[in-house]
Amino acid sequence: MVTIKEVAKEAGVSVATVSRVLNNKGGASSETIAHVENIIKKLNYKPNRLAKSLSEGNSNLIAFLVPTLNNPFFPELIKEVERYANKNGFHILLCNSDDDRAKVEYYLEAMMDQYVSGAIINSLHVGPSDLAVLEERGIRTITIDRTNFEHSYSAITVDHSLGAQLAVTHLLRDEQCNNLVFISGPKNEKSAIDRLTGFTLALNEAEHPVKTTICYGDFGIESGYENAKALIQKGQTFDSIFCANDAMAIGAMRACHEFGIQIPGEVKIVGYDNVSLSSYTYPPLSSVDQCKHDIGKLAVSELIDLINNKNQKPKQYQLEPSLVIRNSSGGNRHV
C-alpha cells in the first residue's frame, strides 16, 4: 500500500504539501497542485480515512456488538442499524461475540484500538463497568435488549413480557387452546426470562384451565426441533406451541411436519421476532414483532446525538411489540 511519504518523495515535495493538496487547503502553486495530483493518480494512493478522521477529531466509525449471527433476527437488525448509520455518514464495525466473554473482551479492546466514536452493545456479557471504560475513553454507548438495562447509560429495550402475553393470550382466548407448550430461551437470558414472565401472566388471566409444558432451548432452530420432537416421541399431546423466538418455532414446525401433525389444524404455533423468513414458512408463522426497524433507527439516532453533543444526558427507551397473526395459528391480522 502506497504511503503519503512515498507520494511526497515521488513528487519532490514535503508530506505537508501533499496533505494540503489532499485536503484542498491551498498553500501551493497551481502547477505544484497539478503535479502532486498527477503523482497521486499515478501511484494510486488512497488516503487513510481513519487517520483523516482522527486528525479532524471525528471518527465516523460505530461499533455494533451482537451476541450471535445464527439467530436470523440479528442479521436483520444489523442491516437496519447499518442502513441508518450509512444515511448519516457513519460506518459499522461489526463485532460478533458468539455469547463468549473472551470474545467480548477482545472486541471491547478493538473498539478502543480502532478509535470508534460510539458503540451499540447487545450482549449478556457486557456490564456497567465495561460501559464505563468505553465512556471514559470517549466512546459513547447505547445498549440494546440483552444487555442489563440497569445502568446509567443510554439503552433501548423491548417489553418482552408484553410480547409474550400477546402471543399466549391469542392462543388461549382467540384460538381456545388448552394444552400449551412453551419453548423458552436459556434460563439465565434476560429477554427469555421476560418472555417467561409474560407467558405466566397470560396464563393467570386465562378464562379456562390450561395444561402447560415448559422446555428450554438456546434460541437456535435445532433446539426448537429437538424439544418438539422429544415431546412427540414421548407421546405427549398438545394443541399449541409458543416459542421464544422464530428460529425455535421454525424448528418446532419441522418436527410437527415430520410426524404428520397438521399446522394449524392439530397444533397452532406462534414465534417471536417476526423475521422475514416467518412470512415464507409453511404455513406462514404467526410471530411477535419486536420493532427491529424502530430499534435500528433509534439506536443510531440516539448514539449520533451523544457523539455530537458530549454534554447530552443518556436516555432510556422501552418499545412495545405487536403480534402479527398468520396461518400457523389460524389467521392473518395484526394485534
Cα 62 versus chain centre, distance:
14
CB 228 within 8 A of CB 216: no
Q: Write down the pLDDT at residue 310.
A: 83
Give yes or no on whether 4-47 and 61-158+292-321 have one common fold. no
| pLDDT score of 147 more than 80 | no
User: 230 to each of 157, 224, 233, 252, how far by Cα in Å?
Assistant: 33, 10, 5, 10
Return the pLDDT at 149. Answer: 57
Cα torsion for 45, 48, 53, 59, to the nearest 10°?
Answer: 140
Q: Residue 220 corresponds to which cell in the numbers above?
A: 437456535
CB atoms within 10 A of CB 73: 20
| One-character DSSP codes across 149-168 | S-SSSEEEEE-HHHHHHHHH
- Across 19-23, 141-145, 165-169, the highest mean pLDDT is recorded for 165-169
pLDDT the model gives residue 51: 52
Query: Would you kindly state where each structural domain of the chain is located, as residue ranges?
Result: 4-47, 61-158+292-321, 160-289+323-334
Given a cut of 80, is residue 276 above it in pLDDT? yes
Of the listed ranges 19-23, 148-152, 288-292, 331-335, the one predicted with least confidence: 331-335
Enter the CATH code of domain 61-158+292-321: 3.40.50.2300
Q: According to CATH, what is the number of the domain 4-47? A: 1.10.260.40
For 208-249, how does the pLDDT look when each residue is reduced to its tens digit (9 = 90+)?
A: 999 999 999 999 999 999 999 999 999 999 999 999 999 999
Question: Minimum mean pLDDT among 61-65, 91-95, 188-192, 267-271: which range?
Answer: 188-192
The CATH class of the 160-289+323-334 domain is alpha beta
In the sheet with 240-243, reading across from the earlier edge strand, the strands are 211-216, 179-184, 240-243, 268-273, 286-289, 322-325, 333-334
Residue 94 has pLDDT above 60, yes or no: yes
Q: Kindly state the average pLDDT of the residues 91-105.
A: 93
**Confidence band for 285, pLDDT divided at 50, 70 and 90:** very high
Query: From CA 165, how far away is CA 196, in angstroms rounded?
Result: 9
User: Which one has a higher pLDDT value, 47 or 273?
Assistant: 273
Cα–Cα distance between 116 and 138 in angstroms, integer?
A: 9
Using CA atoms, how far apart are residues 195 and 165, in angstroms rounded to an integer?
8
The mean of the pLDDT values for the chain is 90
Provide the percentage of residues in the chain whose pLDDT is more than 70. 94
pLDDT at 114: 72
Provide the pLDDT for residue 323: 97
Over residues 302-330, the mean pLDDT reads 93
User: What pTM did the predictor assign?
Assistant: 0.80
The confidence band for 46, taking pLDDT boundaries of 50, 70 and 90, is confident
pLDDT at 55 over 50: no
